[in-house]
Amino acid sequence: MDHPLKPRPTIEEVNKVVRKAYNKRYCLHPDSVKGTCEGDIVRAHTIQRNGGLSKITDPSNHVYQFSLHPFKSQPELIGIREASTFTGFCNIHDTRTFERIETQPFSAEKDQIFLLAYRALCRRLFMYRNDVDVNESMKNWADGRTPIEQHVTTISSFYCNLDTKTYEIQKVKYDNILSNKDYSHLKYHIVFIDTIPEFLCSGSLILETDFSGRRYYKPGSKEIDLKIITFSIIPIDEGGAIAYASIDEGEDIQSFFKSIINLDKHLLPNAITRYTFEYHEDNTFISPSWWNKLDNLTKNAISKRALSDDIGFGEMRPNDCLLDDGHSIVKWNITKIISNCS
Ligand SMILES: [Zn+2]
Distance 168 CA to ligand 1 centre (A): 18
Distance 294 CA to ligand 1 centre (A): 42
Question: What is the chain's mean pLDDT, rounded?
Answer: 91
pLDDT (average), residues 223-230:
94
Distance 119 CA to ligand 1 centre (A): 14
Q: Is the pTM of this model over 0.85?
A: yes
Question: Does any domain span residue 71?
Answer: yes
Question: Does any domain span residue 45?
Answer: yes
Question: Does any domain span residue 93?
Answer: yes
Distance 45 CA to ligand 1 centre (A): 15
Cα torsion 98, 171, 322, 191: sign: positive
User: What range defines the domain where residue 240 resides?
Assistant: 13-339
Distance 298 CA to ligand 1 centre (A): 42
**pLDDT, tens digit, 9 for 90 and up, residues 284-311:** 999 999 999 999 999 999 999 998 764 4
Distance 125 CA to ligand 1 centre (A): 16
Above 80 in pLDDT, residue 224? Answer: yes
Question: Does any domain span residue 183?
Answer: yes
How far is residue 102's CA from residue 176's CA, in Å, rounded to a whole number?
21
Q: What are phi and psi of 148, to 5 degrees?
A: -70, -40
Question: Does any domain span residue 218?
Answer: yes
Question: Does any domain span residue 268?
Answer: yes
Q: Considering its fold, how many domains does the chain have in total?
A: 1
Question: Does any domain span residue 137?
Answer: yes
Distance 67 CA to ligand 1 centre (A): 29
Question: Does any domain span residue 3?
Answer: no
Sequential DSSP letters for 166-189: HHHHHHHHHHHHHHH---TT-EEE
**pLDDT, tens digit, 9 for 90 and up, residues 125-165:** 999 999 999 888 877 776 667 777 777 778 888 888 999 99
